[in-house]
Amino acid sequence: MLAARQLARSARQLTPAGVAERLGGLGEAFQDFVDDVRAGMAERELELLAMLEEHGQGQAVKNRAPDRDGKGEY
């Protein structure tokens, strides 16, 4: 009986619906990873700007940096 349940569960995972369930969780995990990377990049950018401001170059960098629309001097 146990072997039959395991076989049925394995067969279910190979159906289109079973594959979709497994990939759905993967998509969420990937999106979480992307969000974490973006947050880390934004935090690091602020750290770098703070370091540049300490050396008197922060304003020049802010004026040249592209905005969120990609417009800027780069």
In order, the DSSP letters of 14-55 are TSHHHHHHHHHHHHHHHHHHHHHHHHHHHHHHHHHHHHHHHT
Task: Provide the pLDDT for residue 12.
Answer: 73
Domain ranges of the chain: 2-64
Q: Is 0.75 surpassed by the pTM of this model?
A: no
Query: What pLDDT digit, counting tens, does each position of 33-63 carry?
Result: 999 999 999 999 999 988 888 888 766 666 6
On the question of pLDDT at 74 being above 50, the answer is no
